Amino acid sequence: MRWSYLPKTVTLQVMLITAPISRFVSAGILLLAGLSLAGRMRADTMFTNFGPNYAFAQGTGAIVTNDVQAYASVAVSFTPTLSYNLTSVQFVATDLVPSDANYITVGVFADNGSGQPGLVVESFLVDNLTQFGELAPVLSITSQLQPLLEANLTYWVGMSASPGDMIVWNQNSTGALGFSQTDGNGNWSSSGADQGALEVDGTLASSLSPASSGQFGVASTPEPAAWLLMFGGLAVVALQTRARVSLRRVVVRRSSHSKLPPL
């Protein structure tokens, strides 16, 4: 009977020491993970020829067909200054000749060593294009493979239409010139005309300081998911610290009112 109150007091004191610490460690791990992601998950622009607020030319562009037709495929080159994992490609394309197919194939290519598109890095199928002459939106495609695009190597973004269709790759409004096109038999040649509107984004593949290439510098911005995880970690830390203070007050109050039976 003399020690009946002692186990309760000891148990409360152990809860005071261990439970908040374990929760605090978990919250700290979550916070560190958020900080790490915030440092690495950055949406950087490797290349862009869009104007401010994604401005481009609505009523003109390069005609794109299929590799068995005139005009055929069109491709624009870019060279990242740092190594990135591809995340997305933005462009504007409209359907010049309505057809049942109404789709395009967009590909990211490595350079073949002769200043022309070579091996395919990743390709995408895009359908339901806006009709040429209508207000065209900026289209965005997300990379599923997120391939590594190495620093100071040239890559290409190319576009071709479905057989029998004619597509317009709406041109940029910043005066960026120069692209490649095929002759209908898969043979590439250079053109000095206006480029199609294009942006290529990626995440840094190293811990180097973020940088943007192309004609417009674009500041690095942590992805929303990284911010949410980081601030979520901070919130958990704050809540657990508050809970620890409340628990300490309860233990002290319980302990101050607990009396052992007289000997």
Per-10-residue mean pLDDT, the chain, length 263 = 40 40 47 46 85 94 82 91 97 85 90 94 94 93 97 96 89 96 86 96 71 35 53 57 46 43 49
Residue 158 lies in a domain: yes
106: domain CATH number? 2.60.120
Type of residue numbered 259: K
Residues 83 and 188 in one domain: yes
pLDDT of residue 68: 72
C-alpha closest to that of 83 among 44, 120, 122 = 44
Based on the domain organization, do 137 and 201 belong to the same domain? yes
pLDDT of residue 130: 92
- pLDDT at residue 133, rounded to an integer: 87
Q: Same structural domain for residues 27 and 67?
A: no
pLDDT at 2: 42
Does the residue 262 lie in any domain?
Answer: no
Contacts (Cβ under 8 Å, ≥6 apart) of 150: 80, 83
User: Which residues, at least 6 apart from 173, have a Cβ–Cβ distance to it below 8 Å?
Assistant: 50, 51, 55, 56, 57, 197
Residue given tokens 């915030």 in the structure block: 38
Question: Is 189 a domain residue?
Answer: yes
**Count of domains in the chain?**
2
**One domain, residues 97 and 35:** no
User: Do residues 107 and 206 share a domain?
Assistant: yes
- Shared domain check, 232 and 116: no
Same domain as 248, residue 156: no
Q: Are the C-beta atoms of residues 64 and 198 closer than 8 Å to each other? A: no
* Model pLDDT, residue 25: 42
Cβ 149 vs Cβ 80: under 8 Å: yes
Q: 218 and 45 in contact (C-beta within 8 Å)?
A: yes
Spacing of C-alpha 158 from chain mean position = 20
Both tokens of residue 230? 């980081």
Q: Does the reported pTM lie above 0.85?
A: no
Tell whether 137 and 206 lie within a shared domain: yes
Are both 160 and 195 inside the same structural domain?
A: yes
Residues 108 and 141 in one domain: yes
Confidence at residue 72, expressed as pLDDT on a 0 to 100 scale: 84
In a domain, 145, yes or no: yes
Residues 210 and 229 in one domain: no
Q: Are residues 99 and 167 located together in one domain of the fold?
A: yes
Measured CA to CA in angstroms, residue 236 lies from 27, 109, 221 at distances of: 6, 45, 24
156/151 Cα distance (integer angstroms): 14
Please, which residues bridge with residue 56 across strands? 172
* 166 in a structural domain: yes
Structural domain boundaries, residue 15: 6-40+225-257
Buried b or exposed e, range 176-206, using 16+ CB within 10 angstroms:
beebbbbeeeeebeeeeebbbbbbbbbbbbe
Residue 263 lies in a domain: no
